[in-house]
Chain A
Amino acid sequence: MSSPPSASASSSPPPCPKKMITLRSSDGATFEIEETAALQSKTLENMIHENCASTLIPVPNITGEVLARVVEFCSKHAEAGVDDESLGAWDEEFVAVDHTTLFDYIRAANFLEIPTLLDLGCQTVADMIKGKTPDEIKKTFKITTACTPEEEEEVRGENQWAFE
């Protein structure tokens, strides 16, 4: 992807108060995000530094609906002067969604390498798993694969104490 030749492209970007990056979702919707917010994503950070972000960044794996929320998350976390308590409350509300959406967030955070969102999503799933048996976990998250009987026996053998 080559940037269009222009006078401004050759000089270093002037200190701009709010440099905006445009992201395009898998279904063609576009979203603007401040550069400072975008830097929370390691993927986007790399692309910005390689100066590919002068135009549009396609984000093929993520739908518009999810990408909009991800942009919201990054923008909120890039805001100055928000105290830890209110940010925590905001995060809690952010992940109070159905399982499918939660996993969409996790997938998006993984692809875009946003550690804060990824950890938040995983922590939420972990809280849901706590105390559940493997069958219950499979049911809750509609997991279709399973361990073989030999594997199950091996696990129980090595970790009897956990199943008492």
Chain B
Amino acid sequence: MDDLPVEVIGNILSQLKAARDVVVASMTCQKWREAWKKHLRALSFDSNDLSTHHGFNTTELEIIITQTIFQTRGLRCLTISMEDADEFSAAPVIAWLMYTKETLRELCYNVRTHPNINILEKCGRQKLEVLKLAHNSITGIELSYQKFPQLKSLSLSFVSISAWDLSLLLSICPKIESLALVSPDIAMSELQATMELTSHSLKEIHVEAISLDKFLLEADSLQSLHLRDCNLEVFELIGKGALRVFKMDDVSIIHLDISESMENLEVVDVANFTVVWPKFYQMISKSLKLRTLRLWGVVLDEEVEAMDLETISVYFPRLSHLALSYDLGDDVLTHCLQGSSNLENVVALELGWTIISNRFSAWVAELLERCPRLKKLKIFVGVSEAKTEKELGMLGNFTTSMIPLMRKYMETILHQRKTGETIKCLHW
């Protein structure tokens, strides 16, 4: 190992990342010292790594981080991640950002500063490709000189920013591809809580824990949309048909308006989604390329119909993964099982319930019949804490009814072993 070039040692130390490990390792020999001083590319100060026998207080941390960063040169990735840290004072934070300004490509920072500083103003902008901020305030974006020409990935968690500044921020990131907004504190006018984001380069967006009157997203290149724990009165998506992944988790949208052809949609994954279902079904009816469909925790009533198997097989001929969890009333079961088309390409099936019912085994049986190429089956059984006698009885019935079914498929496995197909039953 003695003959490895110093830059390669720098690469090794950079992969170590955690500040303590890098400092200790740098003492190995002179070449490693040189690698530490001149060729270190990544450094991470993570509260999990830093404190061993005793924690360091905030001032001690400020000193440690300052002293360590200033021994290096040419740092490209800097991570400062403190759990439950008090605020850092502004001066050292500004020093760290100014020192690394020319070379920094990746910055992850999650500590409040006092007084609050605008990280976007102080950090290196020319080369920055990845920015992850948490627990900070962004106050004021000025278009005239601030641009992030190389920024590809932006993540803001528990960050205060105005709706106006957020949309401005996107507009000064011409190459941005990935945006994550988690629990933002978005200041907006009291009349209407609106957020409007426009980006021609954005490919994926993840928004979590947000409540708005209106969210307008204009993104021609958008491929992946993921909302989680959101309440939106109006959600408008304007795109150019590039959308491939549509994921909703605990989301409620009263008016969903998507002016974008859903032709290229490959994944629809919605769980506990409140939306106007007939309109939603119509929206995805043209998605012939759909491979994965997950309709989980759909609450059905007189106005909301479940998507029946016949429709699913006609709309989505290429479907390979199907996951359904409905509360099955008799009507629903009959409705869903109408027709007799098979789901020819489905290889993985996930079925779930939240309310125990005797109809579930019939549902499972029928679906197994209709998926001739099935390879994987997962059944999710939600059992509430308070089990009544009746519920326990039904659970018992269900389990009992599954046995001959599985036995039938075990036989199928035996028969089909020669062809190499197996059906795996997982997760009861």
Q: Contact: A110 with B21, CB < 8 Å?
A: no
Q: Contact: A142 with B1, CB < 8 Å?
A: yes
Q: Does B115 contact A (CB under 8 A)?
A: no
A contact face: mostly helix, strand, loop, or mixed: helix
B375 CB → nearest A CB, Å: 16
Q: Contact: B8 with A118, CB < 8 Å?
A: yes
Q: Which residue of A lies closest to B64 (CB)?
A: A161
Q: Which residue of B lies closest to A135 (CB)?
A: B28
Q: Contact: B4 with A130, CB < 8 Å?
A: no
Most buried by B among A125, A138, A142: A125
Contacts of B23 in A (CB 8 A): 155, 159, 162
Other-chain residue from B2, B7, B52, B67 in contact with A145 (beta carbon distance below 8 A): B2
Q: Which of B20-47 contact A (CB under 8 A)?
A: 20-21, 23-31, 33
Q: Does B60 contact A (CB under 8 A)?
A: yes
Measured in the bound complex, the distance between the Cα atoms of B14 and A118 in whole Å is 12
B contact face: mostly helix, strand, loop, or mixed: helix
Q: Which residue of A lies closest to B24 (CB)?
A: A162
Q: Does B15 contact A (CB under 8 A)?
A: yes
Measured in the bound complex, the distance between the Cα atoms of B15 and A119 in whole Å is 8
Measured in the bound complex, the distance between the Cα atoms of B53 and A146 in whole Å is 29
A70 CB → nearest B CB, Å: 16
Q: A142-B1, A144-B2, A151-B33 are in contact. Are A130 and B8 (CB under 8 A)?
A: no
Q: Contact: A164 with B53, CB < 8 Å?
A: yes
Contacts of B67 in A (CB 8 A): 158-159
Q: How many residues of chain B get a CB closer than 8 Å to chain A's CBs? A: 36
B35 CB → nearest A CB, Å: 11
Q: Contact: B12 with A122, CB < 8 Å?
A: yes
Instruction: Produce 1/0 per residue, B414-426, CB < 8 A to A.
Output: 0000000000000
Q: Contact: B53 with A147, CB < 8 Å?
A: no
Q: Does A55 contact B (CB under 8 A)?
A: no
Q: Contact: A163 with B2, CB < 8 Å?
A: no
Instruction: Produce 1/0 per residue, A97-131, CB < 8 A to B.
Output: 00100010011001000000011001101100111
Q: Contact: A161 with B60, CB < 8 Å?
A: yes
Instruction: Report the 9 A-B pairs with minimum CB-CB distance, sorted nearest first.
Output: A126-B15, A162-B23, A134-B27, A145-B29, A122-B11, A126-B16, A141-B1, A122-B12, A123-B15
B residues adjacent to A (C-beta < 8 A): 1-5, 7-8, 11-21, 23-31, 33, 52-53, 56, 60, 64, 67-68, 71
Query: What are 16 of the A-B contact pairs (CB < 8 Å)?
Result: A106-B8, A107-B3, A110-B5, A129-B12, A129-B21, A130-B16, A134-B24, A145-B2, A145-B29, A146-B28, A147-B28, A147-B30, A155-B26, A155-B33, A159-B23, A159-B68
